[in-house]
Amino acid sequence: MTSLKDKKIVWVEDDIFLSEIIAKKLANQGCKLYHETNGEEAIRTVERELPDLVMLDILLSGIDGFEILKRLKANDKVKQIPVITLSNLGQKEDIDKALGLGAEKFLIKATVTLDEIIDEITRVIEQKSNAKRGVGVIENLKESV
């Protein structure tokens, strides 16, 4: 399994307690965490830092997570960055909406542990890394033909 060492994650969450817990857990994994509590700042941070992954709450003050997700996926500079939503919302319509807007995964806060969140982050980053390597191999094969 891929290590989170030196990976960059933007965490968009207005629950300070949860954010502090996850920050400690991710710091122990060696990754760099950028925490934002509002949507406009989150978008700016993603554009500036180009993280390996965005963890996104849906229920936020100001613009909500759906709008943030929509804007990120419409932005050519950052649309390839995987986004995992983590929310108290659990209705099928909300899950379908987030996935339809481009989220890799929709996690429901009440049903996942901290370790499961870390495992999911690691899995998605690993998937993205493997996909990049696969594209590189294909490009090299094309050049050699």
Question: Could you please report the per-residue DSSP string of 13-67?
Answer: -S-HHHHHHHHHHHHHTT-EEEEESSHHHHHHHHHHH--SEEEE-S--SSS-HHH
pLDDT tens for 72-100 read: 999 999 999 999 999 988 899 999 999 99
Q: Mean pLDDT throughout 117-130? A: 91
User: What six digits make up the tokens of 64?
Assistant: 């909500």
At residue 3 the predicted structure's pLDDT band, cuts being 50, 70 and 90, is confident
- For 73, the 3-state DSSP assignment is helix
**Which CATH class, in words, describes the domain spanning 8-144?**
alpha beta
Under 8 Å between Cβ of 82 and 132: no
Using the predicted structure, report yes or no on whether residue 144 has a pLDDT greater than 70: no
Amino acid symbol at 24 = K
**The model scores a pTM over 0.95:** no
pLDDT score for 130? 82
**What residue spans define the domains of the chain?**
8-144
CA 62, distance to chain mean position in Å, is: 19
Please tell me the distance from the alpha carbon of residue 4 to that of residue 7, in angstroms, as a whole number: 5
